[in-house]
Amino acid sequence: MADENHNVTAASEPGSHPSWAKAGKALVREAARTSSTLFVIMIPISVATRLLQQAGLVDVLGRLLEPVMGIVGLPGALGLVWATAMVTNIYAAMVVFASLSSGLNLTVAQVTTLCTMILVAHALPLESRISQKAGVRLRFMLVLRIVGALALGWGLSVTYSAGSFLQAPNTTFWCPPATDDSWLAWGSSMGKTMGYIFVIILALLMLMKVLERVGVIRLLTRLLEPVLEALGMSASAAPVTIIGMSLGISFGGGLIIQEARSGKLTRRDVFASLALMGLCHSLIEDTLLMVVLGAHVSGILWARLAFALIVAFVLVRCVAKLSEGRFERLFCRPAAVPE
């Protein structure tokens, strides 16, 4: 009996920590599972996007957008910048902007308008596919983000012009380094990005479990309940929505996919969360990227956040009037999503 007690005591000593090791392995497996879901989406979409970019699709789209840019008070040449952002990503758009902006004599208001539109609608093939995988229809997310970007851009342009705000010449604080456009360099960059995503997801899962254990998630959810209720969302959607809005769809969307498949979130919660996240995400990193181009926080942060909350509020209220069947047909992807 003494030996048995000694064994039990030894197993629970701080140095052994068998439960910690088991929990760590489980966490790594969960991060790998969540990351692999994203990678299955990312790799083919990224390859297809690069092929289309090299085939000249972005240039064609940029020319088609030239008349549209006039509606939001921007030179037509900047259509290529927004087209690059929508088809590829923000970083590629920054490079194109740097190559075009020097001869356009842009104001801070114009750059803020363009950058805000980029933040609302960028990386659409990849991020819309992530949203679709979570259960929201692709066409809805595309329309929401493109029309939302144009509406917000028009609103900012009119406001800045009417009040003569931010009319000083723009100053860009960033000059793009020389880039290697080869497939080898692209593949290396993709590999680094996937490694980065895995590490971030692992850290997020770990953080969420720690915060849940110490009660911070519960406290945060209670504090956010009035906002969530106003948006028609349940408290269970709060953690992943906050992650998506602060860090981005690639991270928050991956967790949303996981939560949606686990059954913890209803279809309407997923819809509301992704609608809000689609219009306003990566409030930290992406906002800072636009600041170095000269954009003002009044548009890229505050107007974007306010716009997203208002649109999400209106959307959820309108959708609440639909029957469950009609809601599913219009906004939700069929439940059986292939792995």
pLDDT of residue 7: 47
Other CB atoms within 10 Å distance of the CB of residue 120: 26
Q: Which of 289, 305, 214, 202 minimizes the C-alpha distance to 254? A: 202
Q: Which residues have C-beta within 8 Å of that of residue 157, sequence separation ≥ 6? A: 72, 73, 74, 109, 110, 113
* Summary mean pLDDT of the chain: 83
**How many angstroms separate the Cα of 42 from the Cα of each of 92, 128, 242, 298?**
17, 11, 22, 32
Nearest CA to 137 out of 271, 240, 269 is that of 271
- CB distance 241 to 233 below 8 Å: yes
197 near 250, Cβ under 8 Å?
yes
pLDDT at position 178, please? 61
Query: DSSP readout, 70-124?
Result: HHTT--GGGHHHHHHHHHS-HHHHHHHHHHHGGGT--BHHHHHHHHHHHHHS-SH
What percentage of residues in the chain have a pLDDT greater than 70?
87
Work out the angle at residue 136's Cα, subtended by the Cα atoms of residues 133 and 138, and round it to the nearest 5 degrees: 80
72 vs 241, residue with greater confidence: 72
Average the pLDDT over 271-289 and give the result: 89
Token pair for 41? 């989406």
Q: Which residue has the higher pLDDT, 33 or 280?
A: 280
User: How far apart are alpha carbons 12 and 18 in whole angstroms?
Assistant: 8
Instruction: Check residue 149 and give its pLDDT.
Output: 98
Residues 6+ apart with CB under 8 A from 81: 62, 93, 96, 97, 100, 114, 118
Q: What is the pLDDT of residues 94-140, one digit of tens each?
A: 888 988 888 789 999 999 999 999 999 999 998 998 889 888 999 99
Q: What does pTM read for this prediction? A: 0.81
Query: What pLDDT digit, counting tens, does each position of 162-180 carry?
Result: 999 999 999 988 776 666 6
Mean pLDDT value of segment 206-213:
75
